Amino acid sequence: MKTIVITGGAGFIGNHVVRLFVNKYPDYRIINVDKLTYAGNLANLKDVEHSPNYEFRRIDICDFDTVYSLMRDEQVSGIVHLAAESHVDRSIKDPFSFAQTNVMGTLSLLQSARMYWESLPEKYDGKNFYHISTDEVYGALILNRPDGDGHGNGPYGDDLFTEENKYMPHSPYSASKASSDHFVRAFHDTYGMPTIITNCSNNYGPYQFPEKLIPLFINNIRNRKPLPVYGKGENVRDWLYVEDHARAIDLIFHNGIPGETYNIGGFNEKKNIDVVKTMVKIVDRLLGRAENEDENLITFVTDRAGHDLRYAIDASKLNRHLGWKPQVNFDEGIELTVKWYLDNEEWMNNVTSGDYQRYYESMYGKR
């Protein structure tokens, strides 16, 4: 069986990719490598944990010796690298941990893969190192509506991020991801390692850790807690439903061209305040409350340091080269997402209480 390692597979995007690969490719052996930090939760994979082609390994990707042993002993032929620290607010408070995991962890994986694959008679034939990154490495786009001449590419501005954009990261998080991208490209250019990079827009959907905007606010609305919105809520993001992202990762892993970069976007630009008001409307309706009853929970707080005003991805290259386009628009996706969190209150309570972490500490010891 071909052995594929998916790093960060107990996290938000990772669990969707693991599930897709395990169910779609029974002839693959999928090894989920995750350190189980606060954002990793094996409960996200209850439905596949006993599948014959699935294994979990609790490994810190920064531990080079352990990662290299895994590559060698399990004869790994492909890596889908999702493990990362990803919350911008946390990166502002603790940039060192972001540099450690996102930069040194990626370098550990690259070097382990290179050393093992180069030791084989076939070397890089049939091998693939796929690194998932973010649109935040590109910096910020100008926020302005098209002038009405019909040539605008987005509702909030004519320009979109393409694969040719220069890197201009503005937060410790985006700087760490930009650095890891550069290392991946360097290993392709220096050693001939078959690597692929994708930069995606904001993901949303089931199993996202509730420090992020959408799950946090759904839970706050349900419990009638304040909804703190940065600045005036004018920041614009492109929203990508997580299952669409998983499908794109699957397609690119199997059909992408080594050395290429592909942008993955949802073509769903929304202002943060509009996303929040949409969630209020849906939660109130699904809970049988009066329409927009909980809009009074919205409060505006001091903007975050280095808060980019607008991100938006141009995913047309991916469409041209591999035929991918998102299947779920935002109206459909946000309805599905709100319903999932409301229907999975036990999952949310287990995460917000920290019970899931105490359970893993009892099994594996403290990190």
Catalytic residues: 135-136, 173
- With b for 16 or more beta-carbon neighbours within 10 A and e for fewer, the 180-193 pattern comes to bbebbeebbeebeb
How far is residue 247 from each of residues 52, 264, 298, measured CA to CA in Å? 22, 11, 34
Give which of 90, 47, 351, 329 is closest to 218, Cα–Cα: 351
For β-strands 195-200 and 269-271, DSSP reports them as: unpaired
| Cβ proximity of 7 and 331 under 8 Å | no
Of 41, 45, 47, 134, nearest in space to 86 by CA: 134
Q: Please give the Cα distance from 295 to 28 (Å, whole number).
A: 48
How far apart (Å, rounded) are the C-alpha atoms in residues 198 and 336? 25
Which H or E run includes 58? Answer: strand 54-58
Q: Which residue has the tokens 């599905």?
A: 336
Task: Identify whether the C-beta of residue 334 lies closer than 8 Å to the C-beta of residue 206.
Answer: no
d(CA 211, CA 351): 10
